């Protein structure tokens, strides 16, 4: 691809004079966005890291499906980086295309292209950049470019898409927009779990689920066993970490409120625990006003127990 060189030079601060900042924008930009950040469509190298961050965050506004060099230079000229030495490498205009994601890459699908590599390799790189312990599927509109991946330096798990940039042995940079689908084992309720129940191994089972936000759901039994649910959880529902609290031990001799329920009616009385327990455990409790009356009750929290009346 033939790129036209244009060096945009303004008065230079001494701090930036040692090295110009190079901005490279390809002839074709793959994106579905109408407002673009320069760092999403260009490779920005050299100069001062602070100025590179400013340039990366600059918004440019294409005219329909065309982004012109003058529009990019105008945005730079109005920014806080306008007094840096900038070298802009791009055609007089770049074409914007909406990526069409057609299926997933497999080794068979890409084997006919000389520069193609299996999707499993690309998925492994993305997992490494994101420190993701689940699975990720990769979809793209074309073959994986040759060369090494130089950008981005990291990827946030759960994002639906990202632009990857590859540099070949001749220094040419090729962008590739990919769609990402993240999945992970998620702990799911094996039956209805009531508010106040303590989670045990019998209450959960793992299933694969698509993830858009990491850290929302429990991904292993160790994260939730022994914790108490703060709300009712339906059978088959994934268990959210924010809906659980650590189950501390309620000690024998503690004064509690005994709640008895029957149908839509309920009654309450003061009581005393006769055994240690955690929320969700069944323990012995006696009425505070009559030491002879002992009951079996389930601990709801440190101040309340519940008696079931059949």
DSSP class of residue 248? P
The CATH architecture assigned to 255-308 reads Roll (2.30)
The predicted pLDDT at position 204 comes to: 94
Question: Residue 131 has which token pair?
Answer: 């420190």
Question: Rounded CA gap, 294 and 233, in Å?
Answer: 31
What is the rounded CA–CA span in Å between residue 310 and residue 300? 18
Distance CA 211, CA 159 (A): 9
| Average pLDDT value over all residues in the chain | 78
Chain centroid to CA 308: 42
CA distance 48 to 211: 37
Residue-wise pLDDT tens digits, 23-57: 888 887 766 666 778 887 888 887 777 888 888 88
Reported confidence tier of residue 105, pLDDT bands at 50, 70, 90: very low
Question: Do 37 and 52 touch, CB atoms closer than 8 A?
Answer: no
Residues of the chain with CATH 2.60.480.10: 5-97
Pick the CATH number of 99-247 from 3.30.70.1380, 3.90.1210.10, 3.40.50.300, 3.40.50.620: 3.90.1210.10
- What number of other Cβ atoms are within 10 A of residue 260's Cβ? 16
Q: Say if residues 198 and 249 touch (Cβ distance below 8 Å).
A: no
Summarize the confidence of residues 109-138 as an average pLDDT.
67
> Is the entire prediction scored with pTM above 0.75?
no
What is the share, in percent, of the chain residues with pLDDT greater than 70? 81
What mean pLDDT do residues 281-287 have?
90
Per-residue pLDDT tens digits for 206-219:
999 998 888 788 88
Report the pLDDT value the prediction gives residue 107, as an integer from 0 to 100: 32
Report the alpha-carbon distance of residue 175 to residue 167 in Å, rounded: 9
Q: Where in the chain are all domains bearing CATH 2.30.30.760?
A: 255-308
CATH fold of 5-97, please? eubacterium ventriosum atcc fold (2.60.480)
Which DSSP state fits 197?
P
| Cα 157 from Cα 306, distance rounded (Å) | 42
Look at residue 247 in the predicted model and tell me its pLDDT. Answer: 61
Percent of the chain at pLDDT exceeding 90:
13
Instruction: Pinpoint the residues of the chain covered by CATH 3.90.1210.10.
Output: 99-247
Helix (H, G, I), strand (E, B) or coil at 9: coil
Q: What is the pLDDT of residue 14?
A: 33
Mean pLDDT of 175-197: 91
Distance (Å, rounded) from C-alpha 85 to C-alpha 47? Answer: 8
């Amino acid at each position: 691809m033939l790129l036209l060189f244009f060096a945009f030079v303004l008065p230079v601060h001494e701090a930036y004079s040692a090295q110009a900042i190079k901005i490279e924008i390809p002839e074709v930009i793959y994106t579905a966005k109408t407002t673009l950040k320069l760092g999403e469509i260009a490779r920005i190298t050299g100069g001062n890291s602070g100025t590179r961050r400013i340039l990366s965050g600059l918004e440019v506004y294409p005219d329909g499906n065309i982004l012109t060099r003058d529009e990019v230079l105008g945005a730079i000229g109005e920014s806080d980086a306008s007094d840096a030495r900038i070298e802009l490498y791009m055609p007089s205009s770049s074409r914007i295309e909406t990526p069409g994601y057609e299926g997933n890459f497999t080794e068979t699908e890409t084997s006919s292209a000389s520069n193609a590599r299996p999707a499993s390799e690309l998925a492994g790189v993305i997992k490494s950049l994101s420190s993701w312990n689940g699975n990720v599927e990769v979809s793209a509109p074309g073959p994986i470019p040759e060369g090494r991946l130089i950008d981005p330096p990291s990827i946030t798990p759960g994002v639906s898409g990202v632009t990857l940039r590859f540099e070949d042995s001749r220094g040419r940079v090729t962008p590739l927009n990919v769609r990402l689908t993240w999945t992970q084992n998620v702990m799911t309720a094996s039956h209805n779990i009531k508010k106040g129940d303590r989670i045990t191994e019998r209450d959960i089972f793992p299933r694969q689920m698509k993830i858009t936000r990491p850290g929302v759901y429990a991904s292993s039994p160790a994260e939730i066993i022994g914790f108490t649910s703060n709300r009712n959880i339906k059978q088959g529902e994934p268990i959210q970490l924010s809906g659980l609290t650590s189950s501390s031990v309620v000690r024998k001799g503690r004064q509690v409120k005994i709640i008895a329920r029957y149908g839509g009616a309920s009654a309450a009385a003061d009581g005393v625990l006769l055994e240690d327990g955690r929320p969700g455990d069944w323990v012995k409790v006696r009425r505070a006003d009559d030491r002879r009356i002992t009951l079996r009750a389930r601990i709801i929290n440190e101040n309340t127990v519940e008696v079931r009346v059949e």
